[in-house]
Structure 1
Amino acid sequence: MSSAAGGPEPGILKRSVMIAGHRTSVSLEAPFWDALRHLAAARGTSMQALIGEVDAGRGGQNLSSAIRVFVLRAVWVEGAPPEFDGADPADIAPPS
């Protein structure tokens, strides 16, 4: 997505990841990167490995969209990370 001025959307962070030996870029909002990091840690794996799993099961879906759906489903099933319990979503800061 782009802003009206043609630049990247505010709050979108673009990161390079290696999937099956190929480098690709993924654009996600900071809270999704944070949640993905927590999910990977909780599962004892790396973010890159977790993204690889999402990639392997996404079919023709856009990778960034597939990651967002994966994170949403995981939070529904596993719940939010403990530090988010009772937090106002507006007060949750992106990782620094």
Structure 2
Amino acid sequence: MAGEGKEGPILVCRNVKVSGRRTSLRMEPYIWDSLKEICERERLTLNEICTEIDSRRGDANLTASIRVFIVSYYRTAVGNRGFAEDGPSPLLRRALDDAVPVED
């Protein structure tokens, strides 16, 4: 299968700042592309979205939480019959709430 090595899918490592601290995340190129598209649609930086997800994830792994957020974002968009084209939408907040609920 294309894009896979002996150990499985190829992962891309990138550095991001989460809550002001630098960390590296290893995810598939398609996941990075999806996250970049969401950032562009919502007019947020990669660091801002990762920080928001991090603040909600509790004990869950950050990369897993990002993957779940991406799925939730697009599922919510499909359920809403498309995306808002003119800036931040309720879609972002709903996807975050569904994927990474705030722990009390």
TM-score, structure 2 as length reference: 0.65
The count of aligned residue pairs is: 76
Q: Which runs of 4+ in 1 moved over 3 A?
A: none
Shift of 1:67: 0.3
Letter in 1 for 2:31: F
Aligned CA-pair RMSD = 2.0
* SS of residue paired to 2:72: helix
SS in 1 for 2:57: coil
Q: Which runs of 5+ in 2 are unaligned?
A: 84-104
> 1:61 — aligned with what?
60
* Structure 1 match to 2:48: 49
Q: Find the counterpart in structure 2 of residue 38 from structure 1.
A: 37
* Shift of residue 78, structure 1, vs aligned partner: 1.5
* Aligned pairs for 1:1-96 within 5 A: 9-79=8-78
TM (norm. structure 1) is 0.70
The Cα of 1:10 is off from its aligned counterpart by 3.5
Q: Between the two proteins, what is the percent identity of the paired residues? A: 28
SS at match of 2:38: helix
Gaps of 5+ in 1: 82-96
For residues 36-92 of structure 1, the C-alpha deviation after alignment (integer angstroms, 9 at most, x for no partner) is 0000110011111111111111000000000000000001012488xxxxxxxxxxx
